[in-house]
């Protein structure tokens, strides 16, 4: 064989070996990528299963009756060893959890193994409910009227604790501080205005099963609308207890 032919033969063999290695690498790489893709898909399916289970758990155990509850931003950690589809899941939250705002959930995987695995899932619980807000600014000691307030839907996790939810509970109350428009009213910021002061002469409306009479009395303590105060009946000189109806009237029931 001539030298040029021998050289071409060696070059052809090298090309064949190179092509064989390339195809082997492609085939091996494809199998690796397919395996990784399948594993990632299975992992994402398992994480989605945990998301659905946690969401249902929070909605089922929510104490916020009558409010619109939404569970969002459910974050299942990207960790190895996620539970298989057949594994059971049990969930719990902290004993003092309000099921409001950022709420972590502990997920226990029951797959028959001696050592149960635990996964912490971060969630956000949004509770939409009407709260009482000011329609206009009010000064300290000002008595709230129905025209001063309205109801607005708010996420309770973003409003102060003790927010008022009923306009009727606010109207007639006195503000302890100056408030701006849009303020969500809290119970601790409100106070009943004093209608009857100690020493005031008031009309006693005495109600009983047999009769209804009126008499004059002197308030022995101060009180606001609906408060029960002690009053001295000026006719009998007896101390009685009655409910404040207005500045001049106290109802006594027997």
- Chain segment 151-169, per-residue pLDDT in tens: 999 999 999 888 999 999 9
Calculated CA dihedral for residues 155, 161, 162, 168, nearest 10 degrees: -20
Which CATH number is associated with domain 128-191? 3.90.1210.10
List the chain domain ranges: 128-191, 194-253
**Nearest alpha carbon to residue 216 among 188, 192, 249, 242:** 249
pTM value is 0.59
Which pLDDT score is estimated for 134?
Answer: 96
Q: Do domains 128-191 and 194-253 have the same CATH topology?
A: no
pLDDT in tens, 196-217: 999 999 999 988 777 788 999 9
Which pLDDT score is estimated for 12?
Answer: 52
DSSP of 52-75, one letter per residue?
A: HHHHHHHHHH---TTSEEEEEEEE
**How many other C-beta atoms can be found within 10 angstroms of the C-beta atom of residue 105?**
24
Question: pLDDT exceeding 90 applies to what percent of the chain?
Answer: 57
Does the CA dihedral 55-59-63-65 come out positive or negative?
A: positive
Strands 228-233 vs 239-244: parallel, antiparallel or unpaired? antiparallel
194-253 is classed CATH 3.40.50.720: no
d(CA 39, CA 58): 29
Which pLDDT score is estimated for 27?
Answer: 44
């Amino acid at each position: 064989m001539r030298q040029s032919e021998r050289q071409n033969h060696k070059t052809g063999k090298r090309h064949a070996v190179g092509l064989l290695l390339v195809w082997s690498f492609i085939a091996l790489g494809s199998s690796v990528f397919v395996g990784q893709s399948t594993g990632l898909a299975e992992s994402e399916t398992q994480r989605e299963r945990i998301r659905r289970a946690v969401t249902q758990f929070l909605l089922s155990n929510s104490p916020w009756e009558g409010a619109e509850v939404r569970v969002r931003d459910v974050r299942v950690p990207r960790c190895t060893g996620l539970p298989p589809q057949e594994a059971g899941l049990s969930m719990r939250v902290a004993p003092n959890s309000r099921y409001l705002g950022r709420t972590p959930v502990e997920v226990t995987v029951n797959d028959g193994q001696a050592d149960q695995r635990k996964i912490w899932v971060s969630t956000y619980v949004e509770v939409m409910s009407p709260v009482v807000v000011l329609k206009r600014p009010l000064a300290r000691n000002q008595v709230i009227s129905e025209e001063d307030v309205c109801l607005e839907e708010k996420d309770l996790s973003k409003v102060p604790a003790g927010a008022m939810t009923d306009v009727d509970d606010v109207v007639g109350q006195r503000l302890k501080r100056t408030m701006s428009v849009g303020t969500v009213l809290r119970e601790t910021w409100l106070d009943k205005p004093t209608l009857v002061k100690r020493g005031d002469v008031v009309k006693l409306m005495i109600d009983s099963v047999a009769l209804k009479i009126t008499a004059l009395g002197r308030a022995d303590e101060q009180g606001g609308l609906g408060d029960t105060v002690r009053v001295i009946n000026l006719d009998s000189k007896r101390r009685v207890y009655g409910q404040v109806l207005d500045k001049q009237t106290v109802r006594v029931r027997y």
